[in-house]
Structure 1
Amino acid sequence: MIFFAGNNPIWAFAILRRPGTDRRAFPNITNAKVWHVCHFSFLAFLLQLLSVSAVRSQVQVPVGSGIVRLEATQQSKQGDRYVADGDVVVRYLDVRLRADHIEYDSRTYEVFAKGHVIFDYNTQHMEAPQGQYNLRSDQGAFLHVHGTINVARRPNPNILFSTNPISFQADEVDRVAEQTYVFKKTWLTICMPNRPLWKFYSARSTLRVNDKVVLVRANFRLLKVPLIYLPYASVPAGQRVRQSGFLLPEVGNNTVNGFVLGDSYYWAPRDWMDAEIGAQILSKRGWGQSFDLRAVPASNMNLGVTYYGVEDRGLPAGPNGTLIPEGGSQAHLLFTSNFRQGWRGLADLSYLSSLTFRLAFATTFTEATSSEEHSDIFVTNNFRGFSLNIAALNYQDFLNAQPETSIVLRSAPEVRFSTTDRAFGSRWPVYFGFDSAVGAVRRSDTLIDTQQFVERSEVAPHLTLPMRWGSWFGITSTAGFRAIDYNEQLINGVPVARGLVHTDGEFSFELRPPALERIWDRGKAKWKHVIEPRIVYNYVTGIQDFSRIIRFDEDDTITHTSEVESGITQRFFRKTGDGQAEEFLTWRVAAKYYFDPTFGGALATGQRNVFAALDSVTPFAFADEPRHWSPIVSNVKMNYSAQYDIQLETDFDPLPNRLSAYGLIGTVHPFRQSFLSLAQFRLNTDPILQPRQNQIRVTGGWGQMNRKGWNTATSLAYDTIQHSLQYEVVQASYNGSCCGISFEYRRLALGPLRNDNQFRAALLIANIGTFGTLRRQERVF
C-alpha cells in the first residue's frame, strides 16, 4: 500500500489477499503474521507523518531539453505552480538557483525567488534578496545584487595581468542572454570586493562574458576618489584584449614642455589590423600628434606605420625673448611580404624633419642621440644559385643641429644581379662567380653636391680555387677584376659631368692551418680548448684615379693595397652530463700589415682617411699618415653561466703606442630578480680622426615590469670628458593583484638644445591598461 504526506509518497509494505484466492496458496502465512505486518506498516506511517517536515522533498519536471529538479524542506503544488520553502534549490542544466522561498510555474518556466537568493551558472555567481528567472529563455532580473564573474583571459606582456574575477554590485541586474548582463547603478572591479583599491562606477553597463564591458556615464575611482569621468567606455573582459575606443588619458608635467594632457583613440576593425591616433597639449610649446598602424593582412605580409609631430610655438631665447620654434615630425614605415615564384619585398622608410626636433622632443636618450636615418625599398628573388635585387636606398646622417648639416647618400633605382660560386667543370676544383649592378646614385654634403641621378654600372667576376691537403690544412685562392663606370667625377674636389671608368685587379688567398685542441675532464664536466689560426692575404692593383672617384658606398672606397691579416681565435667549451657542449669563452686577436703604407698614393697625410682596406679590421678611423701596421684588435666574449655575460673589445695602436679604442659591456644577475649592466666606451685617438670620447652607462634594478610587489630600476649615462651626466632615470613601481603604480624621474642634458627634468607617474590597471605618462616602451625594465 502507498500513503502520501503532501506530495511525498510513503511506502508501507503489506500482504493483501485478492478476494477469491485460496488461503492455501499461502500455507506459511497465518492470521497472526498478517496482523503483525499491518501493525508494523501502521506504525511506520505514523512516524513518517511526524517527521515529514524534517525530510527534503524532490520534484522533477521535464522542460525542453532537460529536467527541472526542485529540492526543498517543504513544497506544494497548486495547478501548474510549485511552491517551495526552506533551503530551496532549483537545478536545470548548468543553472543552479537557491533561495529561502521559490515559486515555479511549469507552464511559463518562470521562477520567482525571495530571501538569500544565490544564482550560479558555470563561472557566474550572484547573490540578491530577490529575483526572477526564466529557465527556457535564460533571462532574468535580480535586485540589489553583488557577485563575481570569472572570464577567460589571455596574458598580455604589455599590461599588468590578473586572474581575479570581475566583482560587482548593482541596484539591478538583468540577465538578457546566456553570456550578457545589463547592470544599473553599479560598480565593477577585479580587486578584492571587501577592500577594492579601484572601481568603475556606472549608471548603466553591459557585460558580455569573455568579450567586454561597456560602461555608460561612468567614472573611475581610486581609493574612493573620483579621478576620471567617462561618458562611454569599453573594457576588455576576455581573451580578446583589443577593443576599439578612447584610451585612458595621458596627464603629466615637465620643465620644458609644461603641463601635458593627451588622449588617443584605438581602432581595431579586424583581428589582423589595429591603429591608434592621438594628440597632446603641451602648455609651454604647442600641441603634438601621433599615429600608429599595425596590420598583418596575410601570414606572409606585415605592415607597420608610426608618426609623431609637434606644432611648436618655441621657447624664449636671446635678450629680447624671441620665440624659436623647434617643431617638426618623424615617421617610419615597415612593410614586408613574400610574393609568388620566390619574390620577397621590403620597404623600410624613415623620415626626420630635423635633428633639432629630435633633440628637443625625443623621450629617451637612445632616440635623442641617434642622428642617422635609413630608407630602403627592395624586391629580391634567389633562384638556382642566382640572386636578382631591385632596390632604392637612401641614407642621411645629420652632422650638426645648428646650423643643420647632413650627408645624403642615395642609390635609386638600382638593379643588382649576382651568383654564388659555381663549379667551372667536373675535373678541376675551380669555381666561378660574379657581382654586377646598374643604377643611379647621388651624394650631397657640405663639400660635394652631385646631380640628382649619377649613372653608375659595375661588374666584378672572380674565380675561386680551394685546395686542401688532408683534413687539416687548406688554402683558398680568389682572383678577379672589377670595373665601374661613372658619368660624373671629381676634378679639384668639384663634381663634373664627365665619364670615368674605374678598373682594378684583385687577388686574395686564405690560409687556415690546422686547429689545435685539447680535451680534459675536471669534476663532472668535460672541457675543450681550441686554437684556430687564420692568415689572409689581399692584393688590389690598377687604381690610379682614386681622388677623382665620388664615394657613394663601400665599392667606391677600394684602393690599391697589398696587405696580410693574421689572427688567432681561441674557444673554450664545457659539457656537463648528457647536455650539449656550450661555448662559454671566445677570444679573437687580429691585425693587418700593409706592405704599401700609402695605398697607391690614396692616403692623404694630416686628415681622416677611410678606405675598405682600413675599416675592414676595425670600425674606428686610425690612419692620418702612412703606416704599415693597423691597430691590434682584441675581442673577448664570455658567457660562463646564465647569471654572467661580458664582452670586451679593445684596439691597441702600435704607432702611437696607446689603447685607441675600448669597449666593455657586462651584465650580471647576482640573485633572484636583481640585474646590473655596465658599459664603457672610450675613444683615445687623435682629434683629427674623431673626437675623443669616454662614456659610462650603468643600468641596475630589481624585478620586472609586471611582477607582483616592489620593482625598481635606474639607468645613467656619464661623459667623463665633459664631466656631464647626460642622462639619468629612476623608476619605481609596486604591483598588486589588481593594479599597480609607477613613478619615474628622468633627466636629459644634451647641450644647449635640451636640458630638462621630467617627473612621470602611471597607474597600471590590471587587464585594462595604463593611465599616466610613463609608457611601456620608455621603461628601463
Structure 2
Amino acid sequence: MNFRWFWFITLFSLCHPQVHAQVVTTQLPPAQAAAEALPNDPALTSSLPEAHVVPQTPRGTPVTMRWDHLTVRSLPDGNEYLLDGHVVLYYGQYILHADHATYNDATGEIEAHGHLMVDGGPDDEHIVASHGSVNIYQNTADFFDVTGSLGVRRVKHNQVVFTSLNPYLITGKEVRQLGKGHYLVLQGTMTACRLPRPDWRFYARRIELNHGKAQAANASFHLFGIPLLYVPYVKHEIGANRTSGILLPVAGNNSTYGAVVGESVYLTLGRSADLVAGTLYYSNRGPAPFATFRYRGRGDNYAQVRFHSLLDYHTEAGNNLGGIDFFADGRYDFTPYTRAVIDAEYLSSYLYRLTFEQNYAAAINSEVQSQLYLEHERAGFSQAIHFNRYENFESVSPEGNEVRILHLPQVDLDAEDHQLPGLPVEYSFHVSSGALSRYDYNPFGTAFRTGAEIPRVDIWPALNLPMHFDGWNFRPEFAVRDTWYDKSQRPATLTQFPRLVGAPINRLDVEAGFTLRPPVVGRDFDQRWVQHLFGGELRHTLSPMLQYRYVSGIDNFNRILRFDDTEVASNTNELEYGLTQHLYRRTQKPRPCTGAALLHPQKNCGTHTVDWLTWRVAQKYYFDSTFGNAVTPGTPNPLLATLDFTGVDFLEAPRHYSPVISRFKWTAQSGDSAEWDIDYDTKAGRLLSSNVYTNFEHGNYHLRLGDAYLNTVTGAPPGTGLRALVQASKPTAYNQLNITGIYGSQSRLGFNTGASTGYDLERNGLQYGAVQATYNWNCCGFSFELRRFSLANHLRNDTEELFSFTLAGFGSTGIPHSARVF
C-alpha cells in the first residue's frame, strides 16, 4: 500500500459527520436515574448560610437572591442590586453563584465576577467562568474563560448525578448563550473525558451546543495531547438522542481473502426505529454488503431484520463463495392474550456461511429454521396458526445432501390439563391440521419430492386421574390418537428412498400408562464438622420415579411419510425408572455478593438455601424390542419413544434396554456452575455421549469450558446398498472441546485479554481460535484480535487480524460484536 493511499484511507475513515455513540470504556461514571428526592427548594441545594431574601416584582422571570452584603440603587423603572460575598441567584431552571454581582430587575441583566458558576437548564448545563453577564428575561448570556459540562447535575456537598448516558465537557475562551439550552463556544474544546487532562478532545474555533447536540466544523482531534487528525465536521449528542450519519470504519486483514475494509451509515427512523447499512470489502473476493433494522415498540413489541452477504467476483463454477444470509425476528401483541411472532432465516448457500460467518457456532450450523405464527392463549387453551420451514444442508456442495420441509400452514388447538366438572378426572387435547411438503436430494442422484402440499390432520385427546396419598403421587393416563394423511408412501425402511403413493392413509393408536412417585426421603447433616467442611448445613434427598407407557395400533409405520416428530410415533410397551438426588446447602454466616451473584436481587448472599448438587440417573426397559416392527437395523431409528428420553440415536437394532442416562449439575451461591451429562450403552458397553459445561468467575477472571463427545452410529443415506449400510453401522466418534478464558472486560481500565478455542480431539485439529487484547485508558481504548478458522477439511483455512479503537461515549470502530471474545 503506497503512502498516498494510506493517508486517503486514514482521512476518509476518521473524518465523518457522525460517529456512533457507544459507552465501552470508563470515561465519566455511567448514567444514573436522578434521585427521586431531589429537592425543589433552592435553599436545600446550597451549603451557604441563610441570608436575607428580597421578594421581586413579578416582571419577566422571578428571581430569588442571597448575599452577604447588599446595596440597592433606585432607577426610574426599577432597582439595581449590588451583591457581594457568596452571591446566589435563583431564576427559572438556573442557579447562579458568584463573588460579586449586579442585578437590574428592569432589564433582567446580571453582571457577575469572581468564581462565576451557572447550573441548570434543559440539559443540566454546568458553566464555570471567571466573569460574565446574563439576561434572565431573554435567556442570553456571555461567559469568559469557561469550563463546563452537559448531562451532569450538581447536588449539595459537591456530589453529582449523571443524568445522561453520554455527558460531555467543554472549555472555551468565550461562551455565548443564544437561548435556553443553546450555547456557542469560541476557541474551545469538546470531550467526554474528565477534565483537566482528558485522553482525547476536539479543538475548534467554534462549537455549537443546542439542546443536547454539539457540533463543530474545521476541528482537530487530539489524543493524549498530541494533534492527530483534521476533522472537517463532527457532531455529538448526549443522553438518548440519536442522529443519522456515517459510522466509524472497520479494517483488518484476512490471510485468504486479503485486506478487509468497511464502512456503514446510521439512519434514525423516528423515535422507535433505526437502520445500519454498509459494506465490507475483501480485496481478493469483492464487496460484502450488510444491514440491520431495529424497531422497539410498546411492551414486548419489537422487530429486527438483518442480512449479510458476499458478491464474489469469482463467478466460475466451484470457486464462487458468494451468498446471502437473511434474518427476521419480531413480535407484536394485539391483546394481552394474542400475539404474532416471526423468527425466520434464509440462507442461499451453506458454503458461504461456512467460509464467511464471523461467529464460530453459527458457521458450523447447517440447519436453517423459520417460523411465523399467530397465537391466542388464555386460561390454558391455545389456538395458533403456523407457517414453518426447515432446511438442512448436509454438504457444502450445491449438489450435496439437502432436506427441506414446509408446513404451509398448520393450525393447532391445544388445552392443558383441565378438570372435568364434578369429577376428579382431568382432560387435555392436541388438534392440528396442516398442509406439508418435503424435498430430499443426495449426491447419488436420487431425489424425493412430495410435490403439492399434503394435508394432515392429527387429533390427540387424553384423560388423567391424579391421586395423592401420604406423600405418594399416582397419575394414570389414557389417550387416543388419530392421524390422517392425504397421501402415503410405499412400504420402505429408513435405508430406502420413499416413493409417493396417492392413496390416503390413517393411523389410529390407543395409549395408556401411569406415573408413580413415592415419597421423597431425606436426611439433614448439621454437624459442626460438616458446616466447617462444606460452609453450611446440608440436606440430602432421594426422589424415585416409575413411569409406564403403552401404545398399540400403529401397524403401518413404514407407509407413513416423514415430516416432523408426529411421524415417528410407534407402538411401544416400556417402563422408565429413575432416581433423582438433591444436595441442598444452607449457610448461616452472611457475606457480600461477588461475581455473577451481583446480578441477583438478594443483597446478602450467605443466608439462603441453594440447590447445590443435583444428580438424576434413569433408564428405560422396552418389553417390545421392535416397537411394532418400526426398527430398521443398521441405521439410527429416531422414534418418539426414544426421543423423549435422550437425544442420542442409540436404536440401530431391536433391543430391550435403553442407555443409562446421568445428569449431574453443581450450582454455587456465587453463580459458578458445572454440568456433566452422560449416556452409557450397557448393551454395547460403550459411552454414547458425554457433555461437560462449566462456568467459573472469580474477580476479573472468567473461565468457560465445554466438551461434547458423541460415539454413535451415523447411518447410511437411503438407497446406498449393503456395503454402505455395513460401513455406516460402525460407531463414529466426535469430540469437540471449547474453552474460553477472560481476564478483565471490555470496559475495564488497563490491560484486558481473552482467548477462545474450538478443538477437535478426535482429529487433533484446531477448528477455531481467537485471542483478543484490550487496553483502556480513562476514556479511550484499543483492542486487537487474532482469529483463525479451520473447518470442513480445510475448506475454510484462514487467519484474520482485526483492531478496534474506542472513544468512550463517542464511538468505536473495528472488531464486529459477533466476533469479539469478550
Q: TM-score, normalised by structure 1?
A: 0.82
Choose from 512, 517, 541 the match for 1:507: 512
Corresponding residue for 2:169?
A: 167
Return the alpha-carbon distance in structure 1 between the equivalents of residues 86 and 645 of structure 2: 86
Where does the alignment leave 5 or more consecutive residues of structure 2 unmatched? 1-52, 154-161, 442-446, 493-497, 589-605, 715-727
Determine helix, strand or coil for the equivalent of 1:298. coil
Matched AA of 2:313: R
Q: How many pairs were matched up?
A: 704
Select which of 553, 574, 588 maps to 1:542: 553
Q: Which residue of structure 2 lines up, in the alignment, with residue 120 of structure 1?
A: 118
- The answer (yes or no) to whether the contact 2:781–2:807 under 8 Å persists in 1 is yes
The farther-off stretch of 259-268 and 598-607 is 259-268
Amino acid at match of 2:787: R
| Higher normalized strand content (fraction of residues) | 1
Say which of 577, 594, 599 aligns to 2:627: 599
Of 649, 664, 667, 1:621 maps to 649
Query: Paired residue for 1:39?
Result: none
- TM-superposed CA distance for 1:457, in Å, is 1.0
CA contact under 8 A between 1:118 and 1:125: conserved in structure 2?
Answer: no
Partner of 2:655: helix, strand, or coil?
A: coil
Q: Residue 731 in 1 paired to residue 772 in 2?
A: yes
Whole-Å Cα distance in 2 between the matches of residues 361 and 248 of structure 1?
A: 22
Q: Is the 8 A contact 2:429 2:460 kept in 1?
A: yes
**Bigger shift: residues 294-303 or 681-690:** 681-690
For 1:472, give the aligned amino acid.
G
Which stretch of the first structure deviates more once superposed, 568-577 or 323-332?
A: 323-332
CA contact 1:528–1:574 (8 Å) conserved in 2: yes
Distance change in 2, residues 1:560/1:105 (3 Å): closer
Aligned to 2:354: 359
Report the CA distance between 1:441 and its aligned residue. 0.7
Report the Cα offset of residue 126 of structure 1.
Answer: 5.0
Give the conservation status (yes or no) of the 8 Å contact 1:162–1:737.
no
**Residue type of the partner of 1:562?**
N
Gaps of at least 5 residues in structure 1 are 1-57, 154-159
Give 3-state SS (helix, strand or coil) of 2:762's partner. coil
User: Using a 3 Å threshold, how does the CA distance of structure 1 residues 541 and 175 change in structure 2: closer, same or farther?
Assistant: same
* 2:54/2:64 contact within 8 Å kept: no
CA distance in 2, matches of 1:245, 1:265: 6
Partner of 2:567: 556
In structure 2, do the counterparts of structure 1 residues 119 and 588 end up closer, same or farther at CA, with 3 Å as the change threshold? closer
**Helix, strand or coil for the counterpart of 2:449?**
coil
What is the correspondence of 1:600-749 to structure 2 with a 5 Å cutoff? 600-642=628-670, 644-669=672-697, 671-687=698-714, 688=728, 691-749=732-790
Residues 327 and 219 of structure 1, relative CA distance in 2, 3 Å threshold? farther
- Looking at structure 2, the residues matched to 485 and 78 of structure 1 have their Cα atoms a distance apart, in angstroms, of 100
Determine the C-alpha separation between the residues in 1 that align with 2:338 and 2:740: 43
Whole-angstrom CA distance in 2 between matches of 1:499 and 1:681:
43
Within 5 Å, give how 1:393-408 maps onto structure 2. Answer: 393-403=388-398, 404-408=400-404
Among 810, 818, 822, which residue is 1:768 paired with?
810
| Alpha-carbon contact 2:68-2:84 (below 8 Å) kept | no
Contact 1:71 1:90 in 2 (8 A): no
1:434 and 2:429 correspond: yes
Question: How far off is 1:644 after superposition?
Answer: 3.2
Shift of 1:283: 2.4
Whether the 8 Å CA contact 1:161–1:766 is kept in 2: the answer is: no
CA distance in 2, matches of 1:112, 1:79: 19
**1:164 touches 1:738 (CA, 8 Å); kept in 2?**
no
Shift, 1:142, TM fit: 4.4
Query: Which residue is 2:183 aligned to?
Result: 181
| In structure 2, C-alpha distance between the alignment counterparts of 1:163 and 1:422, rounded to whole Å | 50
Equivalent residue letter for 2:500:
P
| Separation in 2, partners of 1:269, 1:312 | 31
CA distance in 2, matches of 1:179, 1:715: 48
Residue 449 of structure 2 is matched in structure 1 by 449
Is the 2:251–2:262 Cα contact (8 Å) retained in structure 1? yes
Give the drift of 1:110.
4.8
- Alignment pair present for 1:464 and 2:475: no
Following TM superposition, by how much is the alpha carbon of 1:376 offset from its aligned partner in structure 2, in angstroms?
1.1
**1:109 CA drift (Å):** 4.9
Cα displacement string for residues 277-314 of structure 1 (whole angstroms, at most 9, x for unaligned residues): 22333322222222222223332422222222222224
Give 1:486-525 correspondences, 5 Å limit.
486-491=485-490, 493-523=498-528, 525=536
- Secondary structure at 1:589's aligned position in 2? strand
Alpha carbons of structure 1 residues 83 and 334: separation in structure 2 relative to 1, 3 Å:
closer
> 1:61·1:69 contact (CA, 8 Å) conserved in 2?
no
Range 220-229 or range 458-467, more displaced: 220-229
Deviation at 1:413, TM superposition (A): 0.9
Partner of 1:755: 797
1:655–1:87 CA distance, 2 compared to 1 (3 A): same
Picking from 52, 60, 63, the partner of 1:66 is 63
Which segment drifts farther, 79-88 or 527-536?
Answer: 79-88
Per the TM alignment, residue 267 of structure 1 is displaced from its structure 2 partner at its CA by 2.7
Q: Summarize the Cα distance change of 1:313–1:164 in structure 2 as closer, same or farther, 3 Å threshold.
A: closer
Q: Over residues 313-350 of structure 1, what are the superposed CA-to-partner deviations in whole Å (9 max), with x where a residue is unaligned? A: 249x9xxxx99221221122122122238322212111
Tell me if the contact between 2:164 and 2:240 (Cα under 8 Å) persists in the aligned partners: no
Partner AA of 2:513 in structure 1: S
Please tell me the residue identity of whatever aligns with 2:184: V
Cα shift at 1:99: 8.5
Structure 1 residues 565-619: Cα deviation after superposition (integer angstroms, max 9, x where no partner): 1111111112234944321111000111112222222111122221112222211
Kept in 2: contact 1:745–1:757 (CA 8 A): yes
Q: Is the 8 A contact 1:234 1:243 kept in 2?
A: no
Q: 1:360-439 counterparts in 2 under 5 A?
A: 360-403=355-398, 404-424=400-420, 426=422, 429-439=424-434
Give me the whole-angstrom Cα distance separating, in 2, the residues matched to 1:125 and 1:533.
68
- Cα deviation for residue 459 of structure 1 reads 1.4
Paired residues for 1:90-105 under 5 Å: 93=91, 94=94, 96=96
Q: Max radius of gyration: which structure?
A: 1
CA gap of 1:170–1:644, structure 2 versus 1, over 3 A, is closer
Aligned residue for 2:642, secondary structure, equals: helix
Q: Partner of 2:596 in structure 1?
A: none
Mapped contact 1:287–1:311 kept (Cα < 8 A): yes
Amino acid at match of 2:270: R
Following the alignment from structure 2 to structure 1, what is the Cα–Cα distance between the partners of residues 168 and 570? Answer: 71
Give the drift of 1:646: 0.9
What letter is aligned with 2:646?
T
Q: Which residue type is aligned with residue 480 of structure 2?
A: F
Shift of 1:103: 8.2
- d(CA) in 2 for partners of 1:479, 1:104: 90
The AA in structure 2 aligned to 1:727 is Y
Q: 1:207 Cα shift?
A: 1.6
* Letter in structure 1 aligned against 2:303: L
In structure 2, the CA distance between the partners of 1:110 and 1:431, relative to structure 1 (3 Å rule), is: closer
Measured against aligned partners, the alpha-carbon deviations of 1:650-699 in whole angstroms (never above 9, x if no partner) come to: 11111221112111111222x32212122111112345367421111111
The 2-side partners of 1:73 and 1:483 are apart by 96
**1:309 to 1:185, Cα distance in 2 relative to 1, 3 A:** farther
The 1-side partners of 2:283 and 2:742 are apart by 34
Question: Aligned partners of 1:668 and 1:384: how far apart in 2?
Answer: 41
Residues 484-533 of structure 1: per-residue CA shift (max 9 Å, x gap):
11122112521222211122222222222222222232346442211111
RMSD across aligned positions (CA): 3.5
Residue 25 of structure 1 corresponds to none
- For the residues of structure 2 that align with 1:75 and 1:266, how far apart are their CA atoms? 57
Contact 1:649 1:664 survives alignment (8 Å): yes
